[in-house]
Amino acid sequence: MAAGNVPTGNVSAFYGNTTAGLTASPTAIDAAIQDIIQTINDNWSWLQSLVAQPELGFPDGSVTTNKIRDLAVSTQKLADAGVTTIKIADGTITTAKLADMLITAAKIADGTITEPKYGTGSVSSRAIATGAVGATKLDPALYQQYGDIALNARFGQIDAQLAEKVQKGTIEINVKDYGLDVGGGINDDTVAITNAISAISTLGGGRLFFPRGRYKVTPSANGALAFSNMSNFEITGDKGAEIFCDPVLVNSSNLGNNRLLRFTGCKHFSIHGLKFKMQLDFASTIPSGSTREDQTIFIYSYADSINEDFNIYDNEFEYYGPQLHDPLDGETSRLSTIAIGSDTNIGPTSRLTNNFSVFSNKFNSCLGRTVYLLLSENGSVYGNQFKDLGALIYPDGSMKTWAVALAIRILGCKNITATGNTINGYKGELVNPDNNLGAVVGFVCGGGVTGGISEDVTITGNVINFNNTGGYGLGLDSCRNVIFADNTIEGTESFTDGQTYGVRSEEISDTSHNVKVHDNIFRNLNISFDLKSTADKYDNIQVYNNDFIVGTNNTSIFNTTGTKANIGDNYYSDKASICAGPGRQRKIYATSPPTTGTYTRGDICYNTDWDIGGSGGKSPIRSWVYQYNNGTINVWRPLDFSILKGTTPPAIPSWSGSAESHTGLLFIDSATVSNGVHCHYNGSIWVKYDGTAR
């Protein structure tokens, strides 16, 4: 029989011999069944073409979860409805079963499947007729080649694959799909982006994507863009995608807090590849003494909504507007670029927010607390760049002066590391500088709340340059087990509009325990180490192996009267009157060690004009260490030097420096029969190993 429809004559005969509940005539059954099976076989290629190049039609809603569920096509049901020789032979197929079969002559004749047999919620002739279900609506990965009649099992795999895509963040929501002219920089995009956030939340995660453009939002206390109880998502965009707000006028009638992004109860997320610009404009009518909380990114945990496992990286942040009221009256706004914290009402050691990192970001002209960590745990801040920190730039571009700015503030936290950050204070022109306006601070380590304390904090490998601002590198508050090492803190020698410090205590009443300050470089600071608190407030403060390079602006290296700070071996240069004292080593640089002047045993002189082979009249000694003064000259000995080799030892007096300072220098004589015999210089001549002159 040629491909086509089942002959209606056989089917009519079939129905004509059928009464509900009775066994049908075998003759009519055989003819109808044979025609149906033959038709399916003849049209098999056409049936396959329906699923040859599928694509799942979820986006346009043609195939939905409800439809899949309502279809009720399962392996068991297909098996029960199957036509087998056994069922035909033993009479299992009855008129009732045949009458209820879903394939009828009418359906086969016109090539459609009508709705009455399937129900309004399933795949119907309407969906088939409009092309909603077709070759481009299914995914070939979701069923086996040649078709898998157990479609319900394959649909179960759809859920699993979607969950996997959510977990990997491969499901993407483009914010520009949620409104007209989104990202144009003119209209307010807050509602459109909020709808996109809702879509990500409904899916259970994914990627919230910002194409290149400028996205204007309206900040509020709850955040222009709020993320609540979400997980497995990322917020990212093309290079050049910027989220910003117009300058917000803050006055007596608008004293609420302003936040761009706010997170509560979120897990496993990241923010990267975006630019953020916060702009505030303070009016002079704000009541005196008022304070504010304004943040670009605000991540805050409560007992029932904890933030954890997140990363903020490769972003750029800018702030424009005063930190203080206008005119400058000393009233501060508690600005934070990134604030990561926990509910302070729970207790001083709640530390709900945990497992996070802030790295490789750029912070431009930020004020207040740039990266602010409060009651958080297991976090790292590394590889960030802070440019023009403390610059007070108004939205119109005018500059007043520099103001209070902290790069990284750590309060009431545990197990925090900060490494490899570069912090530069504002270095432009100063207009109306005010010493009482504030300071640029690299790091503050303290309590933050009543009874709070920061512990197990490591701050290493950072560079802090105050430029044209005052401030300090490390502020010690209430803390314990703190390591401050391998950092460089540098001021400008000519700066006179404020004070610069290396390490400084925050408050007289606070306490610090087990603090190690070592292997740092303190250069051109007014005071390198300043602890104001009384002796019983400090315990086991160790300061050792640091380089103190003082300039003309220096007034004191150590201001530690009454404290329990242990000043170990450190290195100093310039101002011998300041550097003198037991255990305070100096580090100087010269072409030869000085023969006069007051030095302390252990001081080191580095040779600025040395040669590894002692050629060109240059000494092979790289550094000397001071021994004593013999009543006539200072005595230095080689500390780091080359071992010379040749046929004739060089004449010591031809080198820079005194002959005495080369005592102990070694020479290998390659001219002797027993090659390798060495000799040493005793301060006046070269002596062989047996004590005889060379």
Q: How far apart are CA 240 and CA 213, in angstroms?
A: 6
Name the packing angle between helices 26-42 and 8-16 (round to 10°).
Answer: 150
Q: How is residue 18 written in tokens?
A: 């059928």
- Backbone φ and ψ for 674, nearest 5 degrees, come out as -90, 85
pLDDT digits (tens, 9 = 90+) for 512-541: 889 999 999 898 888 888 876 665 667 788
C-alpha 475, offset from chain centre? 24
The residue ranges of every structural domain in the chain are 171-323, 335-595
Q: How is residue 348 written in tokens?
A: 């001083």
Q: How far apart are CA 210 and CA 177, in angstroms?
A: 10
* pLDDT confidence of residue 138: 44
Count the neighbouring beta carbons within 10 Å of the beta carbon of residue 28: 19
* pLDDT confidence of residue 533: 61
* pLDDT confidence of residue 308: 97
> Per CATH, is 335-595 categorized as 2.70.70?
no
* pLDDT confidence of residue 80: 54
* Burial (CB count within 10 angstroms: exposed 0-12, middle 13-18, buried 19+), residue 228: middle
* pLDDT confidence of residue 72: 41
Higher pLDDT, 97 or 687: 687
Report whether pLDDT(411) > 60: yes
Average pLDDT over residues 266-275: 97
Closest CA to 621 of 604, 638, 609, 602: 638
* Burial (CB count within 10 angstroms: exposed 0-12, middle 13-18, buried 19+), residue 285: exposed
Give the chain's length. 694
Q: How is residue 561 written in tokens?
A: 């009267």
Closest CA to 368 of 420, 296, 303: 296
Closest CA to 499 of 428, 572, 553, 424: 553
pTM: 0.64
pLDDT digits (tens, 9 = 90+) for 584-615: 567 788 888 888 887 877 788 888 888 877 77
Three-state DSSP state, 16: helix
Q: How far apart are CA 256 and CA 293, in angstroms?
A: 8
* pLDDT confidence of residue 363: 96
Radius of gyration, CA atoms only, the chain:
40
Q: Is the dihedral of CA 27, 29, 30, 34 positive or negative?
A: positive
In single-letter form, the type of residue at position 141 comes to: A
* pLDDT confidence of residue 384: 97
Average pLDDT of every residue of the chain: 74
Report whether pLDDT(144) > 90: no
pLDDT digits (tens, 9 = 90+) for 50-63: 544 444 444 444 44
* pLDDT confidence of residue 114: 44
